[in-house]
Structure 1
Amino acid sequence: MAWDPGASAASKGKFYTILRFLRIEQTFFSLPMAYLGAFVAYRGVPPIPILILIFSALFFLRIAGMTNDNLADREIDSKNPRTKSRPLVTGKISVKEAKLMITIGLLGFFISAYLVNFWAFVLSPLVAIIVMTYPYMKRFTALANYQLASIQGLAVFSGAIASAGIIFHSLDKVIADIPWFFVIATIFWALGFDLYNHIPDSAFDRQMGLHSFAVVMGDFALKFAGLNQVVSVALDLVADFSYNLGPISYASTIVHGLIMAIAFYKASKGNFGSAFYYNIYSSIVLGLGIDLDVLLGIPRF
């Protein structure tokens, strides 16, 4: 059977089932990007309480978003051989439990945003709406892939808001302080690895009337994923230059791109599961590299 990151073995306990249900390890796609946004916007290390609250906000939003995604797709997943062992399909997690998890996740997210700063709280409903409407968009348009990718871009955006909101009181200055090149680069990067999730399901999605670029582009979908990630690396290099970052930033961007190239190769051989998770490594390399560059303050080339 094809790889499924949300599957849970029947023999495992409830705690393990919840972790697989939430795909909690995928937090590491977004957390390094959120800290990247925070460090670049702050031009240093943000206060530790802010960094903790950024993690808290992402953690709770993942609970709400992933649970909502699974709940919205429960009937579809039950018909897909790849996803029919997911906990909401098998009943290991009930619909009532899922709704409770969504409520807890959203409350935790909004409370975390409130504790970060005023502008983080004001903008938090926009972030939540984008996250929570994603699973319904694929019923209508392949642009749902870019909506999912924009959620990763919002990690950079949100981290920057958390830091900039400490420094500036006006919204226009907070928005201006966001490292937009990194936000946009992250969207292109995420679109690429999101397609690794959709390409194996393209025939099933077409049968069910679901939309994705894997369905629209057919055999060209994998090349389209790679093209998006090439654009992503190019924009990351533009960002390194534009935000006066140093050699560690450039080096981490190059390694980030090389890991994506390995992931693309694996996907081209049909190993979509491994390709998907290689992007966690690329995210960690880029995020930590740029954070370290900002921390050390090494002059640019």
Structure 2
Amino acid sequence: MQWDPGGATESKSKFYIYLRFLRIEQTFFSLPMAYMGAFVAIKKIPPIYILVLIFLSLFFLRTAGMTNDNLADREIDAKNPRTRSRPLVTGKISVKEAKIMIILSLIGFFVSAYFVNFYALILSPLVALVVMSYPYMKRYTAFANYQIATVQGLAVFSGAVASLGLYASSFSQLIIGIPWLFVISTIFWAVGFDLYNHIPDSEFDRQMGLHSFAVLLGNKALKFAGVNQILSVVLAFAGDYFYQLGYIGYSATVLHGLIMAYAYYLANKGDFGRAFYYNIYSSVVLGIGVILAVILH
């Protein structure tokens, strides 16, 4: 119950504190999903500069979103025994520093989107709005779990826009070319992974008036997470078939599902920390596998 991916109890350098604050490992774990969208959308390797810009856009937006989330929840986190070691709560990072990080990161995101392509720039405010509004949505509805999951799906979507936007002659052609099966598969995967973070806090969240499916469903929340992840695997298999990714794609999806099943087993045993990270590993396996399928097919 004491596990927290955003905590920083160690007395280490300021740089280390920032990395824990931003949960930097989750940014790198999201990168294969963004690249998966970029590769599948055009069925080939995107230009190197597009891959670099995808990384920069993802880094800046995740930094802004994670910082905003911590800033919005700092008073709540201070009351939760599990999250009291977060840098904004302990004062290792100040409110002023956090606000500066949000401003600079959003500027970096919009500048990166400008250099990606016209479609990326036009869609960037909508993507930013979804990311930045999450910490406030959970004050009102359990579907905030699906909003944060949609943020993960937007990584696949945005990667596809970055590469496909180089060739699409119209907005409708762009939207049709998005690998939607993988976008939606990622959303269902992320609902489960987000619930592993919420279930340990369900009683605290209920007392604080916060909403999630962990609060709404109680003891059935873990099964709900499992159902979402089964849907994720089914849609990933459909994506392998529809986008003709061959045995490499199918193999990656099988491994993706097996790792998620093990994560579910760990969560069922109460080991939500390991379940959380194994669930992330499953997405990395799927993303890399699909990318290899596109390259080698």
Deviation, 1:9, is 1.7
Counterpart mapping for 1:35-46 below 5 A: 35-46=35-46
Equivalent pairs, count? 297
Match of 2:103 in 1: 103
Aligned 8 A contact 2:77 2:84 in 1: yes
Moved more, 179-188 or 25-34: 25-34
Match of 2:261 in 1: 261
Counterpart mapping for 1:1-301 below 5 A: 2-297=2-297
- Counterpart amino acid of 2:233? V
Aligned 8 A contact 2:156 2:183 in 1: yes
- Counterpart amino acid of 1:193? F
Moved more, 183-192 or 5-14: 5-14
SS in 2 for 1:3: coil
Deviation, 1:279, is 1.8
How far apart, CA to CA, are the structure 2 residues paired with 1:119 and 1:221? 38
Deviation, 1:88, is 0.4
Deviation, 1:280, is 2.2
Aligned 8 A contact 1:28 1:283 in 2: no
Aligned 8 A contact 1:29 1:152 in 2: no
How far apart, CA to CA, are the structure 2 residues paired with 1:265 and 1:188? 18
Query: CA-to-partner distance for each residue in 1:209-252, whole Å, 9 max, x for gaps?
Result: 00000000000000000110000000000111111211100000
How far apart, CA to CA, are the structure 2 residues paired with 1:71 and 1:284? 28
- Counterpart amino acid of 1:292? L
Query: CA-to-partner distance for each residue in 1:13-51, whole Å, 9 max, x for gaps?
Result: 211100000000011342111100000001100000000
Aligned 8 A contact 1:28 1:280 in 2: no
- Counterpart amino acid of 2:279? N
Aligned 8 A contact 1:248 1:293 in 2: yes
Aligned 8 A contact 2:30 2:284 in 1: no
- Alpha-carbon RMSD across the aligned residues, in angstroms, is 0.8
Runs of at least 5 residues in structure 2 that lack an aligned partner in the other structure: none
How far apart, CA to CA, are the structure 2 residues paired with 1:10 and 1:198? 24
- Counterpart amino acid of 1:290? V
- Counterpart amino acid of 2:181? F
SS in 2 for 1:131: helix
Aligned 8 A contact 1:145 1:212 in 2: yes
SS in 1 for 2:166: helix
**Segments ≥4 residues shifted beyond 3 Å:** none
Aligned 8 A contact 1:28 1:284 in 2: no
Aligned 8 A contact 1:36 1:290 in 2: yes
Aligned 8 A contact 2:193 2:280 in 1: no
SS in 2 for 1:167: coil
SS in 2 for 1:166: coil
- Counterpart amino acid of 2:101? M
How far apart, CA to CA, are the structure 1 residues paired with 2:250 and 2:31? 20
- Counterpart amino acid of 1:191? V
How far apart, CA to CA, are the structure 2 residues paired with 1:281 and 1:137? 27
- Counterpart amino acid of 2:182? F
How far apart, CA to CA, are the structure 2 residues paired with 1:11 and 1:233? 41
How far apart, CA to CA, are the structure 1 residues paired with 2:181 and 2:62? 24
Aligned 8 A contact 1:29 1:279 in 2: no
Instruction: State TM-score, norm by structure 1.
Output: 0.97
Aligned 8 A contact 2:198 2:214 in 1: yes
